[in-house]
């Protein structure tokens, strides 16, 4: 991969804690959240694992709707008027605003903006393009409620990173003003699965069979896996707003981020790529526990402030 990272992660620390987290994730996430466990069971496991989530003090959470879909708002004191539309990960099949409260509340607190976590529709009940359409509808809802495009960023992790990208591209295709920025944590960008990374230390979170299950249940029959609406790696990226991508190096989807950054940079996009050695898929979920996660969230906050949010 020739895409260059503009950022060198700090030296590895908390090695004992990292080892404990790796072992826990390998046993209780990678070992369970994959076939043959049914999707309904995977959903219950994720919710059980995220029942107790550290959230910063002072952030108010409230339930609402946006674009006809449920959502959760996280509001911190002194917010400057911007909003981050956050799209949770979970392989397009599991997860929701409740499983990602730690990330969302921390982003609200550190970035000084409101964070709206969207409860978009999931596969297999609702395959592509349902989730992407929900993102567009939510963005329209923000505009209709009075937010200007320059006050809105879109972000997400894994499947949510994918939806941030394809949702933004669809927003622009429909003639709506583009959001001011995108933030993607380990986005899935290529459903063909042809360039999957094999980290020497192993991926403690994602099992390859789970990736294939997600593709089979989310991608409609007859639609090629490299369709730009699903796989943004193959889209025309020239119109993307400034984009920050953070990725751990010990994860199967590393190349999804590296190849996206390479193609976006070649297309003239203001692309920021941050690689974190020794860390795994969406390590930012450990914010409040893992100092590297705190550091990464701080980098996101600084990026959004640079964009005027």
Give the active site residues: 158, 251, 281
Let me know how many helices (H) and strands (E) the chain has, helices first: 8, 9
* Chain-centroid distance, C-alpha 196: 18
Show the tokens assigned to 136: 């567009």
List the 60-66 sheet strands across, edge first: 7-8, 271-276, 243-248, 181-185, 152-157, 83-87, 114-118, 69-75, 60-66
DSSP state of 150: G
Where b means 16+ CB within 10 Å and e means fewer, 109-131 reads: bbbbbbbbbbbbebbeeebbbeb
The three-state secondary structure class of 182 is: strand
């Amino acid at each position: 991969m020739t895409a260059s990272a503009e950022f060198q992660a700090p030296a590895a620390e908390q090695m004992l804690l990292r080892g404990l987290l790796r072992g826990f994730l390998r046993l209780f996430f990678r070992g369970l959240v994959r076939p043959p466990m049914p999707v309904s069971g995977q959903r219950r496991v994720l919710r059980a694992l995220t029942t107790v989530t550290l959230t910063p003090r002072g952030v108010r959470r409230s339930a609402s709707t946006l674009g006809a879909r449920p959502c959760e708002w996280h509001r911190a004191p002194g917010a400057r008027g911007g909003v981050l539309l956050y799209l949770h990960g979970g392989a397009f099949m599991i997860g929701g605003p409740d499983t990602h409260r730690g990330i969302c509340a921390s982003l609200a607190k550190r970035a000084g903006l409101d964070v709206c976590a969207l409860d978009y529709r999931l596969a297999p009940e609702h395959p592509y393009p349902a989730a992407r359409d929900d993102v567009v509808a939510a963005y329209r809802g923000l505009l209709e409620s009075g937010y200007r495009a320059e006050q809105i960023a879109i972000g997400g992790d894994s499947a949510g990173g994918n939806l941030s990208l394809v949702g933004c591209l669809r927003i622009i295709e429909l003639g709506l003003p583009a959001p001011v920025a995108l933030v993607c944590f380990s986005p899935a960008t290529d459903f063909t699965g042809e360039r999957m990374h094999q980290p020497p230390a192993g991926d403690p979170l994602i099992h390859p069979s789970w990736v294939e299950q997600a593709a089979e249940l989310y991608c409609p029959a007859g639609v090629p896996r490299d369709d730009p609406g699903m796989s943004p790696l193959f889209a025309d990226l020239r119109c993307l707003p400034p984009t920050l991508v953070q990725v751990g190096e010990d994860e199967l989807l590393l190349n999804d981020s590296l190849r996206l950054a390479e193609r976006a940079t070649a297309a003239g996009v203001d692309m920021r790529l941050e690689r974190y050695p020794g860390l795994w898929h969406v390590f930012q979920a450990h914010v409040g526990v893992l100092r590297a996660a705190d550091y990464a969230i701080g980098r996101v906050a600084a990026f959004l402030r640079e964009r005027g949010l």
